[in-house]
């Protein structure tokens, strides 16, 4: 599809964009162009420079070098309004909607002057309804955004961009939160948008989607543009290689020797919260020496299961047994006492205290125990020794144990969290998205450590939205959908496509 479009009008051109943050070059001379009616995929790992590039386009950062042209006119740098005014609309991965307002109000917010919010609604509503019809974005204008599903919220974000006369749509990881069906509907909308002459930049690291929707692919790695190909001339494997820069060598775990169940759930339910469902009558066994992979589309109860194992929420019904003893009181302290090692999903806000030093973070889960504390008094020398041990054993790159942890990179932060959990010699390990956002070296390191812990007899629950990661590491796989768990699938017994059907919620009805 790509070649016919080369001659067409260029709507967006980036030229030699360079942006440095201290010693780090986030964008290094990046240049590409987008044609009218084209879908261009921006592919790259986390940290490859995609976000920085978009922030430059939207005037949040000023590039050190290079220029941006929209519809042939240079975009003034450092002005957040300029790209919007020039007709570029962005749909963020994390939505920027007000839950307590209606769809229509959200669309008008920031578009119309505040004092006009009450007036001229009729015309605005007609326009929103027309756009929603033209682009197949079915959503009721008077519904409160708080009551909408994730897919519907995304439609509101797209409508918002279209309402502002966006001619170029930028979608940041748009399918991360969608079911396959919702993603299909999104693609249908995008095709309608293309037919009307819009252009799309599609930011993703999901290769099959990129192959399905994009005409051309631009690959970023470590801030550099490393490849630009038409999807017709490439395949998933070659894109993956371009993205990570080498043949991907996933750690190959040896066969597991499962032992007794160290943690069992029987008919356990938890209360849901807002848009995230609770768990619905879950049965689960985590066995010694086994990695259980939990696959699923984001927001289907992974968070609830992680919170349950972390001790943040207790079951509202059903039985939970740890080391064959029923659990009565259940808090993070009990979870730690039951020797559950926890690697939380959000290392910045949950896993660490950003303004604490590495020393203070290293003892976060054990500060009350000897030798770090005696009769309520802290022994900071012992704590510092512990931090130094973790820094050394887990290869945490940092200026020293008295550095505030917020100054560390994500990978090094994660290594400290991993070390903190593993040094306590856990029997059960909860690893929630343990490698998200890490560079490939850190990914391999974390995964190898998890496999090693399994080999030493720990029961590991690996939660990930990346099916490839689940397939590579898990001894058994469970799929979570809408708070329910699929049966246990042994390694290799299901194809990705079959798992995908379970992820979409098929198979549960007759299983339940």
Partner 1 sequence: MRLEPIANPGLARSAGLPAAAIALTVVVASLLALLAGADPLATLGLILKGAAGSKFALLETLNRATPLIFTGLAVAVAFRAKLWNIGAEAQLYAGALLTVLVGTQLGLPGPVALPLMALAAILAGALTLLGPVLLKTRLGVDEVVTTLLLNFIMLLFISMLLEGPLKDPLGMGWPKSEALPRDARLPRIVDGLRLHWGFGLALICALGTWVIQTRTTLGYEIRATGLNLQGARFAGIPVNAVMVKTALISGGLAALAGFSEVAGLKGNLTLDISPGFGYTGIIVAMLAMLNPLGVVVSAIFVAGIFVGADSMSRAAEVPTYIADILLATALLFMVLAIMLTRFRVVRG
Residue 344's φ and ψ, nearest 5 degrees, are: -75, 165
Please identify, among the stretches 132-140, 153-161, 319-327, 341-349, the one whose residues bind partner 1 according to the rule CB under 8 A: 341-349
| Rounded (10°) angle between helices 180-195 and 150-163 | 10
Residue 355 makes contact with partner 1 by CB under 8 A: yes
Binding-site size, partner 1 (CB under 8 A)? 33
Please identify, among the stretches 208-216, 250-258, 333-341, 492-500, the one whose residues bind partner 1 according to the rule CB under 8 A: 333-341
**Residue among 188, 316, 367, 493 that touches partner 1 (CB under 8 A):** 367
Residue 349 makes contact with partner 1 by CB under 8 A: yes
Compare residues 347 and 449 and give the one whose CB is closer to partner 1.
347
Quote the tokens at residue 418: 């991993």
Alpha helices in 358-495 (DSSP H): 358-362, 380-393, 410-423, 440-455, 467-473
**Residue among 342, 384, 386, 454 that touches partner 1 (CB under 8 A):** 342
**Residue among 289, 311, 341, 483 that touches partner 1 (CB under 8 A):** 311
Residue 78 makes contact with partner 1 by CB under 8 A: yes
Compare residues 61 and 394 and give the one whose CB is closer to partner 1.
61
Compare residues 190 and 313 and give the one whose CB is closer to partner 1.
313
CA atoms within 13 A on the CB side of 91: 31
Compare residues 59 and 174 and give the one whose CB is closer to partner 1.
59
DSSP state of 256: P
> Is residue 249 exposed (0-12), middle (13-18) or buried (19+ Cβ within 10 Å)?
exposed
| Smallest distance, partner 1 to C-beta of residue 367, A | 6
Name which of residues 393 to 432 contact partner 1 (CB under 8 A): 406-407
Cα→Cα distances 278→273, 314, 386, 446, Å: 7, 11, 37, 29
Residues 196, 10: Cα–Cα separation, whole Å:
16
CA atoms within 13 A on the CB side of 152: 17
DSSP state of 78: T
Binding mask 50-69 for partner 1 (x = CB under 8 A): -----------xx-------
Residues 388, 101: Cα–Cα separation, whole Å:
50
**Residue among 6, 8, 181, 331 that touches partner 1 (CB under 8 A):** 331
Which residues contact partner 1 (rule: CB under 8 A)?
61-62, 77-78, 310-312, 331-333, 335-336, 342, 344, 349-356, 360, 364-365, 367-368, 373, 376-378, 406-407
């Amino acid at each position: 599809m790509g070649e016919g479009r080369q001659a067409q009008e260029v709507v967006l051109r980036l030229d030699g964009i360079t942006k440095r943050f201290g010693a780090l070059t986030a964008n290094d001379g990046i240049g590409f162009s987008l044609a009218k009616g084209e879908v261009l995929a921006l592919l790259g790992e986390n940290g490859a420079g995609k976000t920085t590039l978009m922030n430059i386009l939207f005037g949040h950062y000023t590039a050190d070098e290079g220029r941006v042209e929209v519809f042939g006119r240079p975009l003034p740098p450092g002005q957040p309004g300029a790209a919007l005014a020039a007709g570029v609309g962005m749909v963020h991965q994390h939505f920027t909607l007000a839950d307590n307002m209606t769809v229509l109000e959200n669309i008008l917010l920031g578009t119309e002057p505040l004092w006009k919010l009450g007036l001229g609604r009729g015309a605005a509503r007609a326009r929103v309804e027309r756009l929603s019809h033209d682009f197949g974005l079915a959503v009721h204008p008077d519904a409160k955004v708080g009551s909408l599903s994730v897919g519907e919220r995304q439609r509101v974000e797209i409508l918002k961009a279209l309402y502002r006369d966006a001619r170029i749509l930028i979608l940041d990881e748009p399918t991360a939160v969608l079911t396959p069906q919702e993603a299909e509907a999104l693609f249908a909308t995008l095709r309608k948008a293309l037919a009307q002459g819009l252009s799309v930049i599609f930011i993703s690291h999901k290769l099959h989607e990129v192959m399905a929707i994009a005409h051309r692919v631009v690959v970023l790695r470590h801030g550099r543009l490393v490849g630009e190909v038409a999807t017709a001339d490439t395949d998933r494997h070659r894109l993956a290689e371009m993205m990570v820069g080498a043949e991907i060598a996933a750690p190959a775990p040896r066969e597991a020797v499962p032992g007794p169940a160290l943690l069992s759930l029987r008919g356990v339910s938890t209360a849901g919260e807002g848009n995230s469902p609770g768990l619905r009558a879950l049965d689960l066994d985590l066995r010694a020496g086994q990695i259980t992979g939990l696959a699923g589309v984001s927001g289907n109860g992974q968070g609830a299961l992680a919170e349950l194992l972390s001790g943040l929420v207790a079951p509202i019904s059903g039985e939970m047994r740890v080391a064959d003893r029923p659990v009565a009181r259940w808090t993070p302290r009990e979870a730690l006492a039951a020797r559950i090692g926890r690697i939380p999903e959000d290392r910045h806000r949950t896993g660490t205290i950003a303004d604490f030093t590495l020393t203070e973070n290293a003892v976060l889960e054990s500060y009350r125990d000897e030798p770090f504390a005696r009769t309520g008094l802290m022994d900071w020398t012992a704590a510092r020794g512990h931090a130094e041990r973790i820094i050394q054993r887990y290869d945490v790159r940092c200026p020293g144990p008295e550095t505030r942890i917020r100054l560390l990179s994500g990978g090094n932060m994660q290594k400290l969290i991993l070390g903190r959990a593993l040094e306590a010699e856990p029997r059960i390990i909860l690893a929630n998205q343990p490698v998200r956002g890490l560079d490939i070296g850190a990914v391999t390191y974390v995964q190898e450590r998890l496999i090693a812990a399994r080999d030493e007899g720990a029961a590991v629950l690996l939660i990930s939205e990346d099916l490839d990661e689940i397939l590579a590491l898990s001894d058994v796989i469970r799929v979570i959908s809408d708070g329910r768990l699929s049966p246990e699938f042994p390694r290799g017994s299901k194809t990705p496509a079959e798992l995908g059907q379970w992820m979409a919620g098929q198979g549960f009805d007759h299983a339940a």
